Amino acid sequence: MSRRPRRNPRTKPAKGARGRNRPGHGADARLQAAVDAVNGGDAQTGFDLALDELAATDRDDAAQVAAQAALYLPPPDARAAFARLAGLRPDDPGIVNDWGGLLCQAGEFREAAAAFRHVLALAPDNLSAQVNLGHALLGMPDAEAAEAAFRGALDRDANCAAAFDGLGAVADSRRQWKAAAEAYMRAVDLEPSNDTFRRNLELALIASGTGAEIRERMYRAALLDQPNDIPSLFALAGVLHDQRRIAAAREVVARLFRLDLDEDQEARARFLCGELDFLDGDRGAAWEGFSWRRKAKRYPNRPHVQPYWNGESLAGKSVLVWGEQGIGEMIMFSRFFPQLIAAASRVVYETEARMVSLFQRTFPEIEVIAAEDPPARAAAATDVQTAIGDLGRWFWDDYLEGGEMRRFVPDTGRVAEFRARYLGEAPRAQLVGISWRSENPRFGGAKSMEPAAFAPLLKRPDTVFVDLQYGDTAEELRQIRQAAGVAVTHDQGFDQKVDVEAFFAQVAAMDAVVSISNTTLHAAGALGIPAAGLLSTVPMWRWGLAGESTPWHPSVRLFRQEAPGDWSAPLRQSLAMLDQL
């Protein structure tokens, strides 16, 4: 699936036969009244009058006015209007093309494709309908047919920017981010001022983890015209971060603080400062900046009414901790639970229902409850509240100075079942889990690796490799078999995203794990399983910019890329680690 909603063809005024008799030039009063109604903001009346005129006279200008009026209507009404209009003018390419666009916007892709095919039967050289057909087919979804449609448009016009944009969308749907970026780049080269094409290129570059220099040029070019454009400044700071240019990123953030930022923008800027501080190793300042995330719109808060805890004494008090972000973050921040348990008289942890039993088994002193709206009574009956991500602000030093570091406790019965199932007739083999992909929209592309890159590792003898990657991995496992000549064990008995208990038991069954920075790596670290963490040149803030060890997970060793996109060194180090176990 695509990482973002499919883009549908945009409707434009009909391009069929245009008026031999234009309103105001011999048109009758009813058609002029239709134009006046549209101009006055009453599109429905304008459409009705123009459609009546079309039904009575079959005039081209009446069809034009009706089509333009329909495009001003709310989407459901516009679709109904174009259905009536197409009934009167079934062979008008412009009207049928616009109708297909509206069907696409409604998600009625099969009907839209039929409309576009009808246009092409009427007007085989209609480039707009050819491109629109590709988007409809992609929405069905039929990526192969969509690609053929976009390439058909390029056969008609080798410089059709919209067709290259469509090929980018096809590659996007296949998670082929680099191919998507290449196609979007062609579209941008042909139409540099098209905001949609440039945004698609930007997203594809981010998803692929490549093209930082291209993105930087895009943002700096935008700032030449508008030096104080806040979105462009945020984007520039982000891409400088992605290039390890921390000082330059800080300078851009300083420019942001000199502008009139709203609350959300200030929160995002201060949160970005926290991330930069973490990468620089200045954790004292970092936690303060990190706490600003709760004031940013992209980080939703829970609807609790208790006072927020700001580090004051918890002696004799009860505290509600609510989970946030993803499974990996909740695992990571729960490292501070032992310190919190010692500080407060009672701790309630509110988390996703799929996580409750795992946390309760690991932290029996805590009352673990599933998040509900409105909050459950146990959550309401506490003195103060805090997000789990803010615990590090108050307990980080105690944690580093020898605080309890508790391992997560899996379902031991299921662990034994997984080991017996995977080892089969090779009970003495080493069981190694692998994971290669992240779905993080901001860092996923840079963090992820092509699964075929595992080939040198997978040829290791006396080893059974197990797929720990969440999501649909069928195509990726095929690539691994083709590259390495080795089949990786895949367990179809459960969904790792749904059955978290099974996932943790599966990870606990491993002798070792080799994974990029995702939930799998956090699970291995929380369980104390020896793990190789494969990191990009600029990893997420929690890993810092240097070093093999991490205070978050003592059993994890961090192996870092020597150059962007090159995973050979981390994989070579991972192989050496497995040999040492």
Tokens read off for 285:
């300042």
Residue type, 401: E
What's the order of all strands across the beta sheet hosting 367-370?
367-370, 346-351, 318-322, 384-387
Q: What is this structure's pTM? A: 0.76
How would residue 250 be classed by pLDDT, with cut points 50, 70 and 90?
Answer: very high
What's 307's DSSP letter? P
Tokens read off for 172:
């996007």
How would residue 5 be classed by pLDDT, with cut points 50, 70 and 90?
Answer: very low
Give the mean pLDDT of 282-286: 81
Q: Which residue has the higher pLDDT, 522 or 192?
A: 522
- Mention the CATH class of domain 318-400: alpha beta
Q: How far apart are CA 524 and CA 417, in angstroms?
A: 18
Cα–Cα separations (whole angstroms), residue 300 to 225, 272, 296, 322, 483: 34, 17, 8, 12, 42
Give the mean pLDDT of 253-272: 95
Q: Which residue has the higher pLDDT, 162 or 2?
A: 162
Pairing of strands 531-535, 512-516: parallel
Q: Going by C-beta distance under 8 Å and a sequence separation of 6 or more, which residues neighbour residue 444?
A: 3, 207, 209, 437, 438
User: For residue range 443-456, what is the model confidence (pLDDT) as tens digits?
Assistant: 667 788 888 889 88
- Mention the CATH class of domain 213-295: mainly alpha
What's 92's DSSP letter? -
Confidence (pLDDT) at 444:
67
Q: If residue 128 lies in a helix (H) or strand (E), which one and from where to where? A: helix 127-139
H helices of 344-458, in order, are: 356-362, 377-380, 391-400, 412-423, 444-447, 455-458
User: For residue range 157-187, what is the model confidence (pLDDT) as tens digits?
Assistant: 999 999 999 999 999 898 888 899 999 999 9
User: For residue range 206-220, what is the model confidence (pLDDT) as tens digits?
Assistant: 887 778 899 999 899
Q: How far apart are CA 39 and CA 36, in angstroms?
A: 5
Residue type, 261: L
H helices of 157-282, in order, are: 161-173, 177-190, 195-208, 212-225, 230-242, 246-257, 263-280
Q: Output the average pLDDT for the chain.
A: 87
Range from 366-370, 484-488, 521-525, 527-531 carrying the lowest mean pLDDT? 484-488
Is the domain covering 412-580 a CATH 3.40.50.2000 domain?
yes
- Give residue limits of the domains in the chain: 29-190, 213-295, 318-400, 412-580
User: For residue range 90-115, what is the model confidence (pLDDT) as tens digits?
Assistant: 888 888 888 888 888 888 899 889 98
3-state secondary structure of 312: coil
Percent of the chain at pLDDT > 90 equals 54
Cα–Cα separations (whole angstroms), residue 456 to 459, 535, 568, 570: 6, 18, 9, 12
213-295 and 412-580 share one fold:
no
What's 390's DSSP letter? G
Range from 19-23, 128-132, 487-491, 558-562 carrying the lowest mean pLDDT? 19-23
Confidence (pLDDT) at 127:
93
Residue with tokens 């209609």: 126
Tokens read off for 564:
């962007």
- Mention the CATH class of domain 29-190: mainly alpha
Q: How far apart are CA 62 and CA 144, in angstroms?
A: 39
